[in-house]
Structure 1
Amino acid sequence: MFKKKPNIKPLSPLKSSDRRRTSDSIIADFGIEVPVDTNTGQEDKAASTAGLTALRKSLLPENALSARFTTTAGPNLKQVSGTVYVGSHEGTHGEQRILWVKVGENMYPTVYTLWHNPQIVPLLYTPLTVVEKLQGGADLMTPGLQRGPPFPKKATMGAIVAIASLESPTIPMAVGTCEIDVSSLGKVQGIKGHAVQTFHWAGDELWSWSTTGKPGTNPPDFLGGWDDQGREADTSVESATEALNLGGDQDDGGVSLDANYTERSGAEKAQGLEGEDVPSNKDFVEEVEDKELTTKEIDDAFKNAFLYGVRHHIDHNKDQPNYGLDLPLSQSKVMSLLVQPFLPTYTPARTASLQIKKTSWKSLKKFLKYLDKQQIVKSKDRDGNEVVILDINFEDCQVTDFVPYRLPKKDSPISSGTNGKSAATLSSEHAVGQKLKLVSLLRPKDKLAPIFNSPKADPRGLYTVVELKQILTAYIEAENLVSPKNKRLITINPQIASSLLGSSAADNAALSVGAITRDALAERLVAACSPFHYILRNDADVADSKPKAGAPPKIQISLETRSGNKTVTKISGLETYYIAPQPLADELRKMCAGSTSVDRLAGSSPKNPVMEVMVQGPQKDAVIKALEKRGVNRNWVEVVDKTKGKKKG
């Protein structure tokens, strides 16, 4: 609703009586439970009053201000008016933000209020890609609902709800009104229509407003108060699973488990796989559903990737101390040796999901501490900045009983085609700080073979421009074609005429006099070759890489206009330069304080997709700065400004 900046009249302090009355109205309307201060050891009236006072202060701080506002909404630009309530929560350094918005009879919390007051409204979930569309003003459709049924009981028609992504399930990112009775849904697949009409989101004009003119505050990485509500659906599933009889006879409808049966690992369950006993890699990857994973599934995948990595070293380095692992292991070594190679990244969507910041731990440091609590490793803080693994319990049952699963192979159909690197490998690599080297080479066409045979050069080899000129010089000298009167002129023989000269006016003129300048002949030789290129990462060698046909592609940055006067910045062609689109989008979201999204570029192959990052606003300079951090030279970037119809370099 608040794509357009609202017109807010001057703020005025909220009287204490009005603040209490407004807070009490919010508590009653949303059915918020008043906490009881039990420090006194008894739930008396004083304890209840203290809890109510604390709740009022949390919902509407004592420094609250209010003001009337007007704006327009909808395709018909209908005028909307109401009241905004402004204040600052504890820990925000007194920064005033819009906390509540009243339109008609409805009072809507903003994301700032939800980030400080967990579970005051029902929380619904949808994939991150859908949340990013909501942040553009779209409504939530019924098929986009996830982690249910069952859905929260209070998510009835007309109820105000919050929306979070599956990747960050504890962070409400949008607020809206249920257009249907979500709580009564028995399924969402196949059901059409709107589920939630979006009112406000992180990134809109309410979010960005402040008394000091500062941009909106980025969402936190994790909020503990929302996670209990998010597990309602999971708990119901677990209860239903426990009710199944897996130990009875087959005649009684149960499942007889073989004595040699070993339960599938958590990562396999998360990926929907059956271990190593699966079809060929191509068929196998095609059978895996291309979907984004929940936080729990991502957690399981990272833990099991670590277990897989340890088990791999045990199986392949039996005769070496610590099975070939040089302890202590730094965080980067853990990631590169024991986690990255063993992540089950079979499809683009799963690849985008499997990032450490999308786990519940949010960082590798906390992940290693979790493994320490599980007694799988022994870790220690080093220099206060990172955690190192001092020892690994190779005899732990979680390691010894681990069942390996199929890993992505280089021949996977999701291969990015970037020097043999798959999209799975690409996404898990850290592009920030990488060094890139672009090598342009030329391959002679078949008609040039006679010129290369004379100096005994490979007619199918790859050469630089300088090397081609040297080969041409060797051929000219071997055939004694230098003019005795002018050494800059080369006598045209039948091989040069048929291989290098065409039907242009300049070539016809040269043929008529029987000679051509050395520089012009070199230009003809270069033009008669096919371009190839290498894009080498860090210390990679040309000898170990496979050349790509064609001139080096450029990263495309496009500025476009949407919804009238709204500018967006699109970036594509990142994969060629070893840059995973999703981490770049996440960084740009913070740098530009606006929403970003990652989608398949229109026209690219579904099996080998090229991804496109979109950023709200004209963000060319911020994008180029982020690319330079990833080793990209400005000359490798092409900027097209479609808002003006002009191309910029």
Structure 2
Amino acid sequence: MFAKAFRVKSNTAVKGSDRRKLRADVAATFPTLSAEQLSKVVPNKEELNVIKLYTHKGDAVTVYANSRNPALFEVEKTLYPTVYTLWAHPDLLPAFTTWPPVLHKLVGGADLMLPGVVVPSAGLPQIDPGTLCAITLVGNRAPVAVGVSTMSTVEMLAAGMKGKGFTVLHTYMDQLWSFGDKTCLPTILSLEGEPGTEHAEEEEQDDKSEEGKVSENSLPVDSSLPTDIGNMSLNETMEGAEVGGNEEPSEDGAAESVEEGNLDDPQVLEDSRSPQEQMDALLHQCFFHSLKCKVKKSELPLLTSTFLRNYMFSCCPKGQQIDIKKSSYKKFSKFLQLMQQQKILQVKELSKGVESIVDVDWRHVSIRSFVVPEIASSESPAQDSKGADGEQLYHPPEIIPLYGVSSKMAPLFQESGYKKGSTLSSSEVRSAVINYVKINELVEETNKKCLDQLQPFHQVTFAGHEPIVRKGNIDPIDITIAQRSSNKKVTIIKNLELYGLDPQAVANILQQKVQASATVTTLPGTKDRAQVQIQGNQINHLAKLLLEDYQIHRKYIQGLEKAPKTGRKK
């Protein structure tokens, strides 16, 4: 989640009431924390800031920083500890151990695959799917990553320790760690009698030598790697990872060359699974990818056939294709039935023989913990929005009106930590005004006159992109009727680009629907804006296209009232 640089929206101090609420939330999320430990995570008097940011994928994240170091981060109202917090409280989460060479893969944004998990003699911690866990390195209890399990411990062992084990959210040496004071990984020795002591690597290598070969379910580790990970610099850790990724101890102790980067590469690991298992994994990946990034609540109910064809197919990685018959489910209806049993979604037969998805629980842990594959997120929007038949899919942007703090209004907002030029939503403005009123013992807490004194802004978010903040109110799609020679009428459409619509594509669709000529010309007075002109009064067709097909809100369309009346002709 933090493998690449993020954008900070705001950084303000946490007030007393918010601090108390945060402390209560942390105590409820991590009940094992004592009162003394809780006061260290959320201090009573020391500096505590709340930072709102957007990741490189556009996810909104709230970070709580204690004495500059990020202590907690919140995604979709779920709190997660950072490595800084886990170093102070290493037993806060169930811990799973991996090899030092895997670290640089995790830092690069990879998830932890089960072949990379070290199984100690005492066994793995018993967890359920969706459990928040810490990831440590052999010989050191200091966590290097925070992740969410994709299956239970029983399922991991039943799968032969193959497949993806943890969705990694945050790691040592990622951008969130760099936002703090960049403290090096400490050395926390394992408790006496517990697996993973400082001799764990030697014992593990002895076991491998007795077996005569490296098990396909374990990762190679180079004997030259130091066990004192806490004293290694960033460069040393990376160098050690490269060595461990290219050497594999053989029966006679010599290192045999293997393909670089095969330590936890999902593609390499998938090759060891049966075709049916690979298809099941692809089906699950495309299912959660489409629910998290493509399907919106306003699109429900959604035909199950449309969901599969236009949404899940478009989420397939390049070179792969969903084939339900090759999966263990055989039928898409059986797969959806399982998802319904897990209460991820609800399917109903709204008409005879036709099933539709009528509800989705976007707060379900399986959806919230799913991380979009890096390959999918790096594809161009045009590729990502194409269905299996090559048809271009469109998702309307999310538009949020914002207000900019002017110099005249700055004194009112400085009590809440905002400065001149800060952009706020209407709810943030309301909170700031109420805060100002309470501090200064004024009246009229709900007075909205200050909104008129703020500078208008707006935020536009397209699917798969970071939010864009622009000054002023967004211009609506403008539809006008003009008179041409011989008393002919033409319909002119402007501002389509502001909503992510291609004027040429809209012109082509209208031309096919109404069987009239359509042209695209440069909008007068602009260089990169265009307008669509089509013969006749086509507002009724435009209304259906924009409101129903593209699902743009009526308030962002201007001129629909000029549609011709459709009464019967006598």
TM-score by length of 2: 0.38
TM-score by length of 1: 0.34
Decide which structure has the larger Cα Rg and report it: 1
